[in-house]
Structure 1
Amino acid sequence: MDYDVFDLGDVRLRSGITLPAAELAYKTYGELNAGRDNAIVYPTWYSGQHYDNEWLIGEGMALDPSKYFIIIPNMLGNGLSSSPSTTPPPHDRARFPHVTMYDNVQAQHRLVTERFGIERLELVTGWSMGAGQTYQWAVSHPGMVRRILPFCGAAKTSLHNIVFLEGVKAALTADAAWDNGWYREQPGVGLRALARVYAGWGFSQQFYRERIYEREPLGYGSLEDFLVGFWEGLFIKRDADNLLAMLWTWQNADVGRTPGFGGVEEALAAIRAPAIVMPAEQDLYFPPEDSEWEVAHMPNAELRVIPGAWGHFAGGGLNPVDTTFIDDALKELLAKDV
């Protein structure tokens, strides 16, 4: 395997349930310097694994492994870290406990401090659910995180976003083969249906109207080719219970529930680290208006909207123009003296 595993032992989750023999899978890029002060944490996203984040890492980029020690922790539930598909009974499959963003970040904090002895992070950044973990890092460990750049994500999942995810969940669980999470084989019909529901949300109306999926770098021959090749191809290889576990984490994301805080506004106001918050112009479920509200409650944050038609997937590493826009902002933030 191309990643390492940190043994967390028995972890008491925010739900009160203990996840036994928990594991956090991660991959690192670059070398930790002698001062242990060149580290960056870059969490994964819904269904994504560490290799799905690698498009933003490279020589000459902001996340340059010749300069920084970049840690990509795999989110709990993603199939590599402890997940429904990997956890032994009795906490396996449909019995896998609910995991919050807070739980994820607490596990990652243990990795960073116990495995590597790191006391300061130059940056935390991430896309989508990775952005949610970025906010959580800044709230949970403010003295450790020097800068944050969450893109195409939120500190608290909005009601509209929750409704979108209810559609995704309903499409998957309507497949009789799902069997309340105790399936013998993956519910393929449900996974393909989930993909089709997701397809209407991941990219913008303009993206479809202008048939951008037919152009490079995607280059699909038709709408159906795109729906099958890209969307069904993305989700058919995933485990259904893993997807549902991460979906619960997403729906219940809220930094305002962090111990010691009385709500999301109070938590956002406590983020003192310099921040560039980057929504995508036509993101249908993390719209710029929501990010604008969050930035208004953060004392040291700037709103910078990713322009264009790629919607939520402006942050997915598919469009080189968007990648450059994000990378430029990361370079600017990392150059800021804090």
Structure 2
Amino acid sequence: MSVDYKLYDLGDFRLQRGATLRGAKLAYKTFGTLSPAKDNAIVYPTWYSGQHPDNEWLIGKGMALDPDKYFIVIPNMLGNGLSSSPSNTPEPYNASRFPQITAYDNVRAQHQLVTEHFGITKLPLVTGWSMGALQTFHWGAMYPDMVERIAPFCGSAKCSRHNFVFLEGVKAALTADAAFNNGWYGDKKPEKGLRAMARVYAGWGFSQAFYRQELDLKALGYSSLEDFLVAFWEGFFLPKDANNLLTMLWTWQNGDISDNELYNGDFRKALGAIKAKAYVMPGRTDLYFPPEDSEFEVAHMPNAKLIVFESVWGHFAGGPGTSPVDVKFLDEKLKELLNS
């Protein structure tokens, strides 16, 4: 089977929570050509359960992320099944023994790829959706002198308490399946748990207005609400590995740009350290990341602007190419930011 990505060897990678991933791998894909001056690179991290192909809808000729102009790097999150993950790591750190990964770990690994492998010292832009936005905020706070612009969309710099609680519901649904067997399910995947998780998620990914307007039928073309829940949502999660999903879920719940030795838990200080020109873009009806959280972030960042998706598509206003109107809006804002 041919693969369209490369693996970068991180070596023995020490994690923030104390474990070491030996022979750790970071999967990535690039678009475009790195300029001789190495000054045209954009980092575009993946989101919860997503892999690099799920990011490609925002890249194209004539778009803000134009491979004719920029060298675009999509690094796959640790735990997503392509980079080092429970599903592909040898014993003893396999399956549910896979260690806890923070967003800080992810961005440190990405920084190693960008600086040591590509020799890049300046980034015109880091951008990402959802957990990609979490990593984008981390880039801004961890490497303020390197990152010139950030555009986190439909995501936050710190997992809110309400968001944490939502994810507890997702986790409980997945792990309640007896077949899950504390993560030691082998080849027999916890199908009931994955389907239950999908049902919990379905009430959060799109807004009340989305369902009220029946956009699952009228815009996405499903034949009934049940068809949408099975074909879209269950179909989305069933191919994914349960331990991988739980690893990324833990990363999400513990997302916090100040949870490191740079800021020692001082969230305002971490936000204040982000020098990059920032477009922080929440969705008006996003149930995970409401604009109020973004307002707080922008108020404490020195060079940030709040730009809201006035959309009924909820969290999916920002991803993965689902709402054409919102894609166009996002692309225009990214062009504006890159040209500033």
Report the counterpart of residue 102 of structure 1 in structure 2: 104
- The answer to whether the Cα contact below 8 Å between 2:145 and 2:275 also exists between their aligned partners in 1 is no
State the one-letter code of the partner of 2:25: E
Report the counterpart of residue 84 of structure 2 in structure 1: 82
Say if 2:290 is the partner of 1:287: yes
Q: Where do residues 99-138 of structure 1 align in structure 2 (5 Å cutoff)?
A: 99-138=101-140
Extract unaligned runs of 5+ from structure 2.
Answer: none
Whole-angstrom distance in 2 between the partners of 1:260 and 1:333: 27
259-268 or 140-149, which deviates more: 259-268
Structure 1 stretches of 4+ moved >2 Å: none
Q: Where do residues 192-271 of structure 1 align in structure 2 (5 Å cutoff)?
A: 192-216=195-219, 218-262=220-264, 263-271=266-274
Whole-angstrom distance in 1 between the partners of 2:114 and 2:292: 33
Whole-angstrom distance in 1 between the partners of 2:77 and 2:256: 16
Extract unaligned runs of 5+ from structure 1.
Answer: none
Secondary structure at the counterpart of residue 256 of structure 1: coil
Whole-angstrom distance in 1 between the partners of 2:189 and 2:111: 33
Q: Where do residues 145-224 of structure 1 align in structure 2 (5 Å cutoff)?
A: 145-184=147-186, 185-216=188-219, 218-224=220-226
Report the counterpart of residue 19 of structure 1 in structure 2: 21
Report the counterpart of residue 326 of structure 1 in structure 2: 330
The percentage of counterpart residues that share the same residue type is 67
State the one-letter code of the partner of 1:11: F
With normalisation by structure 1, the TM-score equals 0.98
Report the counterpart of residue 55 of structure 2 in structure 1: 53
1:310 aligned residue (297, 301, 313): 313
Q: CA offsets, 1:278-324, max 9 Å, x none?
A: 00010001000110111000010000000111000101120110001
Secondary structure at the counterpart of residue 112 of structure 1: helix
State the one-letter code of the partner of 1:209: R
Secondary structure at the counterpart of residue 121 of structure 1: coil
Q: CA offsets, 1:69-105, max 9 Å, x none?
A: 0000000000000000000000000000000000000
Whole-angstrom distance in 2 between the partners of 1:265 and 1:177: 43
Aligned residue pairs total 335
Q: CA offsets, 1:17-76, max 9 Å, x none?
A: 111110000000000010000000000000000000000000000000000000000000
Deviation at 1:258, TM superposition (A): 2.6
With normalisation by structure 2, the TM-score equals 0.98
Deviation at 1:126, TM superposition (A): 0.1
Deviation at 1:215, TM superposition (A): 1.9
RMSD of aligned residue pairs (Cα, Å): 0.6
